[in-house]
Amino acid sequence: MITHLEDYIAQFSEPEGEYLHRLWREINLKTTHGHMASGHLQGRLLYMLTRMIRPTNVLELGTFGGYSAICIAQGLDDGAHLWTIEKNDEMEDFARKWIDGSDVSEKITLIIGDALKEAPKLNTMFDLVFLDSDKRTYVEAYEMAMSCLRSGGFIVADNTLWDGHVTDIAYERDKQTNGIKAFNEHVAQDSRTEQVILPLRDGLTIIRKK
């Protein structure tokens, strides 16, 4: 539920933009899990982080409708590129339509398949990884991402508070919740990185590889 404070934050943040707003509306009208899209505030944060980090190579694990991919690509310098991998082939036509129709389409390559298998095939060292794939395998995805992330690079992991379920005993047997909890514990104990969780939307963890 959007609070009055979130409305205020959105009012005084960089506008979403007409194309992204249309994409957001279509995701919510034509998919069954519209809440999975990053949305205005998280999208602007991803854009700002990309501008700050100025990565050359970016990897996104979990494309869904293409909203976050476009936001990240908008922040890329000329010559930089984003590879985004989506496991659900039923989302391909939707995501490809909106990515190809954007003004940053030349900066984005969409791959359909299992990111744990497809990303290593790119044979690329990445400066930034946005992790938003299957929560049940977040630890495995994190380790794969770490293997192709340069020292000093960043991982931004989505949904790390999981709508508050990580602290709710009613969800202690839920596989996705347990996947997130295992991920948070794994990252907190990883001496290779430093990290902070931001309480934005569903939780966003920023991780820096030392």
Which domain CATH number covers 104?
Answer: 3.40.50.150
Catalogue the E-assigned strands of 77-203.
Answer: 81-86, 108-112, 126-131, 149-158, 193-198
Report how far residue 85's alpha carbon sits from residue 112's, in angstroms, rounded to the nearest whole number. 6
Mean of the per-residue pLDDT values of the chain: 94
Strand order of the β-sheet with 193-198 is 108-112, 81-86, 57-61, 126-131, 149-158, 204-209, 193-198
pLDDT confidence of residue 1: 47
- Which residue type sits at 141? A
Which residues, including other chains, have CB under 8 Å from residue 60's CB and lie 6 or more apart?
A: 68, 69, 72, 82, 83, 84, 85, 129, 130, 132
Per the structure, the complete domain to which residue 133 belongs is given by 4-209
Report how far residue 194's alpha carbon sits from residue 93's, in angstroms, rounded to the nearest whole number. 37
Domain count, the chain: 1
Q: Which pLDDT tens digit goes with each residue over 75-86?
A: 999 999 999 999
Q: What is the rounded average pLDDT of the residues 100-107?
A: 98
Report how far residue 159's alpha carbon sits from residue 18's, in angstroms, rounded to the nearest whole number. 26
pLDDT band at 36 (very low <50, low <70, confident <90, very high): low
Which residues, including other chains, have CB under 8 Å from residue 34's CB and lie 6 or more apart?
A: 27, 28
For residue 166, is pLDDT > 60?
A: yes
